[in-house]
């Protein structure tokens, strides 16, 4: 047993220090970024925010709504190939450029992923994720996917430490998914005691990835737009959001009514709800590592995404970053013991 003594930080432990700025307006801030991906060598530009590949967030409808903001959706892995075929036939090119095809790591998943990718050359992004990206089985799958799909951009995870980021990039990942335990409906830290404060994971993993010309996506733990700014400030190239985009009209979640009020169910992908829905229950040998919550309906996602992008533009103006790309080098975090003033949160 060993103990690491240096303090690891989450979003709630810091604020971004304001800096002198010459920017006149938030509208001067450019949120689009252009990336060249390590393995396929192709480029992509857009707003580097990704709706999570959870079955009530990463929906086809979400992809259509978010693409108009130049934002990406990692479409969940539970649509059939036929549903994908209809989607690809129906939507314009601009939407397919903003879509990731998610896959698990079984042989059947591999076959299905290839069938979906074959539907359109515009489907360039693949998202391969498992709860524990440290497993050898996962790395083998990643290598196989890289060989089979040399022209695709592969996003793979989840991990939280630099050495595993390097291993995934060398095994074929272009973007490494970073986050174990921070998610809004995740109970991994409670059930297993395993995890890593998200901001430190981002800072350490970004450094490892950038050294190999790879990118990272900060996945999980953002609860307000300021957290998204902190993730980018810490060095994330992309930020993935689940809970912040849940409960909207585009989510295709189950609606429940209580005392005349309507709610939408939102649950972790390793929760009992998800396992009941997709694999016929929780296997004997495992515990659910996600929970189910009821969210008040939040209407169209466009209001929430505008709020997030507006917050991000504002963060950039506070530190004098005219482009999102500059936010990291203009960020100084200060460690704090307080965040929001809670006096009126009852109202």
Total site size for ligand 5GP, rule CB under 6 A: 25
Q: How far apart are the C-alpha atoms of 98 and 46, rounded to whole Å?
A: 8
Beta bridge partners of 13: none
Q: In the complex with ligand 5GP, which residue's Cβ is closer, 152 or 188?
A: 188
Q: Is residue 73 close enough to count as binding ligand 5GP by CB under 6 A? A: no
Does residue number 305 form part of the binding site for ligand 5GP (CB under 6 A)?
Answer: no
Among the listed residues 197, 233, 242, 247, the single contact to ligand 5GP using CB under 6 A = 242
Distance CA 141, CA 124 (A): 18
Q: How many CB atoms lie within 10 A of CB 34?
A: 10
Phi, psi of 230 (to 5 degrees): -65, -40
User: Residue 98 class from Cβ within 10 Å (0-12 exposed, 13-18 middle, 19+ buried)?
Assistant: buried
The window from 108-116, 214-222, 303-311, 317-325 that contacts ligand 5GP (CB under 6 A) reads: 214-222
Cα-to-chain-centroid distance, residue 21: 30
Residue 241 touches ligand 5GP, criterion: CB under 6 A: yes
The distance of Cα 304 from the centroid of its chain, to the nearest Å, equals 16
3-state SS of 68-137? CCCEEEEECCCCCHHHHHHHHHHCCHHHHCCEEEEECCCHHHHHHHHHHHCCCCCCCEEEEECCCCCCHH
Q: Based on CB atoms, which residue is closest to ligand 5GP, 88 or 130?
A: 130
Q: Pick the catalytic residue: 149, 155, 186, 251?
A: 186
Nearest of 4, 5, 9 to residue 233 by alpha carbon: 9
178 binds ligand 5GP (CB under 6 A): no
Q: What whole-number distance in Å separates Cα of residue 325 and Cα of residue 232? A: 9
Q: Which of 172, 183, 235, 247 binds ligand 5GP (CB under 6 A)?
A: 183
CB of 245 to ligand 5GP, least distance (A): 8
Q: How many CB atoms lie within 10 A of CB 134?
A: 16
Query: Is 186 designated active site?
Result: yes
237 known ligand binder: yes
Are 49 and 228 in contact by the 8 Å Cβ rule? The answer is yes
- On whether 220 is known to bind a ligand per the annotation, the reply is yes
Separation between Cα atoms, residue 339 and residue 60, nearest integer Å? 35
Cβ-contact 120, 114 below 8 angstroms: no
239 lines the binding site for ligand 5GP (CB under 6 A): no
Tokens of 92: 């314009």
Of residues 117, 236, 240, 319, which one binds ligand 5GP by CB under 6 A? 240
Residue closer to ligand 5GP by CB (options 184, 317) is 184
- Binding segment toward ligand 5GP, per CB under 6 A, in 119-127, 216-224, 278-286, 296-304: 216-224
Binding mask 250-269 for ligand 5GP (x = CB under 6 A): ------------------xx
The site for ligand 5GP (CB under 6 A) is made up of 52, 54, 131, 158, 179, 183-186, 188, 219-222, 240-244, 268-271, 289-290
Binding site residues, as ranges? 108-131, 181, 183, 216-239
Binding site residues for NADP(+), as ranges? 108-131, 216-239
The residues carrying an active-site annotation are: 186
Binding site residues for K(+), as ranges? 181, 183
């Amino acid at each position: 047993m060993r103990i690491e003594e240096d303090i690891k930080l989450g979003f709630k432990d810091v604020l971004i220090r304001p800096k002198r700025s010459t920017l006149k307006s938030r509208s001067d801030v450019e949120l689009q970024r252009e990336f060249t991906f390590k393995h396929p060598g192709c480029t992509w530009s857009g707003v580097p925010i990704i709706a999570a590949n959870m079955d009530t967030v990463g929906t086809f409808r979400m992809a259509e709504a978010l693409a108009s903001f130049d934002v990406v959706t990692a479409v969940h892995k539970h649509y059939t190939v036929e549903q994908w075929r209809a989607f690809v036939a129906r939507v314009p090119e601009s939407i397919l450029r903003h879509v990731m095809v998610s896959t698990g790591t079984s042989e059947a998943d591999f076959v299905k992923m290839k069938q979906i990718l074959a539907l359109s050359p515009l489907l360039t992004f693949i998202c391969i994720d498992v709860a524990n990206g440290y497993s050898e089985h996962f790395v083998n799958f990643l290598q196989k996917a890289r060989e089979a799909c040399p022209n695709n951009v592969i996003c793979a995870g989840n991990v939280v430490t630099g050495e595993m980021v390097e291993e995934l990039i060398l095994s074929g990942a272009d973007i490494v998914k970073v986050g174990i335990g921070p998610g809004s409906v995740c109970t991994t830290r409670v059930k297993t005691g395993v995890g890593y404060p998200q901001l430190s994971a981002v800072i350490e993993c970004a450094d490892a990835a950038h050294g190999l010309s790879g990118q990272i996506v900060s996945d999980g733990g953002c609860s307000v737009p300021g957290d998204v700014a902190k993730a980018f400030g810490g060095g994330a190239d992309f930020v993935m959001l689940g809970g912040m985009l849940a409960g909207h009209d585009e989510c295709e979640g189950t609606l429940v009514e209580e005392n005349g009020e309507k709610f939408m169910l939102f649950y972790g992908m390793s929760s009992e709800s998800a396992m009941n829905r997709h694999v016929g229950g929780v296997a004997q040998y495992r515990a659910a590592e996600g929970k189910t919550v009821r969210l008040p309906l939040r209407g169209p996602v466009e209001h929430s995404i505008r709020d997030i992008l507006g917050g991000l533009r504002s963060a950039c103006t506070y530190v004098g970053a005219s482009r999102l790309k500059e936010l990291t080098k203009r960020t100084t975090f200060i460690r704090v013991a307080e965040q929001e003033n809670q006096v009126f949160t009852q109202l």
